[in-house]
Structure 1
Amino acid sequence: FTYLSLCLLTLVSLFIGEYLHLSCEEDSAGWTVKRNTTTKTLTECGDTWGKLRASSCRISYTHPSDSGVYWCESREGATSNTVNITVTAVILQSPVLPVMEGAAVTLNCTTRTPSSLPADFYKDGSLIRTESTGQMTIHHVSKSDEGLYHCTISGYGQSPPSWLAVAASLTLRPSTAQLFVHESLHLSCEEDSAGWTVKRNTTTETMTECGDTWGKLTASSCVISYTYPSDTGVYWCESREGATSNTVNITVTVVILQSPVLPVMEGAAVTLNCATRTASNLPADFYKDGSFIRTESTGQMTIHHVSKSDEGLYHCTISGYGQSPPSWLAVAGELLCHLVVFCPYFISTLLLVSLWRQRSAGKRLTD
């Protein structure tokens, strides 16, 4: 059996003969798994496919006919997000997240029993080349490498298509968008990024480059040795040709509210921490959507058994120091997915998708 890992997207590619477990959220009595395939629509687990147990569904031996769109649905008609599942004999393993220009990326064409078979690789429908080991590496990725890839292995067939995204990226050190006053900040563009520079918009200046009136420029990196509130703004990388990276909103402040970046599951506990640069246990007042909640003597507020009503914009204040920037607390009503086998290449969301691969040759399981 292979190890399971947690991922956060909406596509799953599975080999024929996998064991697939789909589960709705915790405490999900009354929820069931449904699907649409090319032959049947709006069918429930346990009707003509899968084995139903409470709010979970098991497919003991996947077939191509199990390819389709899956979701959780309650008795009242509420639904989760959907998960697109493809069952195939050949899978192309490729990065899910965008690859930075200048980096190297390896695409792996594989079957359920990996054996480094020769594979043909295609981009946007056109043959690129044949690789004897089933792996194709693109060195120094550029924007022109972005596209829809698939592969074929003789005697096994063709993989589902996989989109390779290529993007510029602004990276921060420290890797946080909220900084205390008087911290140092290092901003850099992508690898091999000659011709890229860091720019920003603040409340007093727009479209200014690092090295003009702020920061120290080194190649495609920028260093702010001593941050001030006036450094608060929107930062990005930009090339000579005008291509831009993602933007990052940076806030420089005396007080920071530390809160989860990713959505918190309903029923879980979450702790918000109100801190200064030199202390994290001072008394603090906590607010949600502008309304006072309560004062915590230690500067930490814990919400037990989070519900959707706890979702909102939080901030805190510490007497003598000031107010933190707002932080959005997101609450997810469905479980984050459990994907297996090929994370981060193959993933799903919002259904708990547990997948075990049976290694022993010739062993077949039936629903």
Structure 2
Amino acid sequence: MRELTPLCWQLLLLSTLVYCSLGQGGASLSISPDRSQFLKFESVSLSCEVQGNSAGWRVVRNTTRGILSECDTDWGKQQGSSCNVFPIPSDSGVYWCESGSGEHSNAVNITVPAGGVILESPALPVTGGDSVTLRCRYQGTPSDLTADFYKDGSLIRTETTGEMTIPAVSKSDEGLYKCTNSEGESPESWMTVTVLSLTASLSVSPDRSQFFEYESVSLSCEVQGNSAGWRLKRHTVSGERSDCGRNWGKPEGSSCIVSLMPSDSGVYWCESGSGEHSNAVNITVPAGAVILESPALPVTGGDSVTLRCRNRGTPSNLTADFYKDGSLIRNETTGEMTIPAVSKSDEGLYKCTNSEGESPESWMTVTAAVPSPAVLGSSMFLPRLLCSLLVGSPYLLVTIILLVKGCKSRTQGDHVEEE
């Protein structure tokens, strides 16, 4: 393979500038301080960290009362790319960044309880191996009261200092936490732990998050390597945490078959004997007559996705209204809505209504399509690396054209000399 001449390397660097100037898209929501629970009137700053052009991005929320709005409307104070909030209980809800074209960032859940006790736990995912400290705080003083810490409904530790440290978190530490002290009980918050790769994944058949009473669903643990010791677990809305085959579900090989009841609504996942976790899915079995058929598992960008508004009776193809993040997006006489090629902007909270009632809400996750390793290696790694080091020039296009000609002439000259 002929080595690139210095001139060609310059061309590669400048081509990278074009790549940078086009922007890589996407945004993430950061929160400071990084926690999901706040006492009344505490200050929290929410910022949109955008790759590429940040114009048009803003912080949006959907409160527990179902009010969808932007920062600086009737809440928060916009300061540059950040939104500063002094929250009260009515500010509890889901927050995210959104562009003018409808692209979404990650979302965080913020809770401002009416009570005087909160659990300080991370709102953003924590990385496996990091040290994490959970604090049980009281509105008054002192705030270092003896506290009991609970995970997934079970007492795990009592600390006289009011705080609990996990020196090196692992996937087994992921779960639903709360605390109690002499002043009361905090709300529950989910702590997410990210690792480089999962050894197991949970599949759902049929792939949807809402079911009618007595419908059947098959949940399977797909394990890389030895599957011994993995079992399906759940945490229901009533607080029950148990394995398939105890008082629910029928184990069949690596799967668990469940004939669903409203009491089966909750979070399901696979877990190993050593505490490793798979992904988790949320299943809802409403008492009402209407459900929204939407994917429980993440869908890949570019795929076609159909959402169906189903009625328990017949016909099930009643005219339906479809909502995303609280806003009406489409009315369909067939009772179903198709997105031909989903993108990150389609990620969000969906529900539907028809003449028989309203479905619960379900979150649809969209993941980006992954290029092949060859494409990643040859065309993405170096430009992305250089993007962080270089800035553009107003004369870039002209320079590149000249360098292309120069590179071509130099290469041809080298070839003639070799002959």
TM-score range, shorter chain: 0.3 to 0.5
Give the TM-score, by structure 1 length.
0.42
Which structure is higher in strand share?
Answer: 1
The structure whose RCO (Cα within 8 Å, separation 6+) is larger is 1
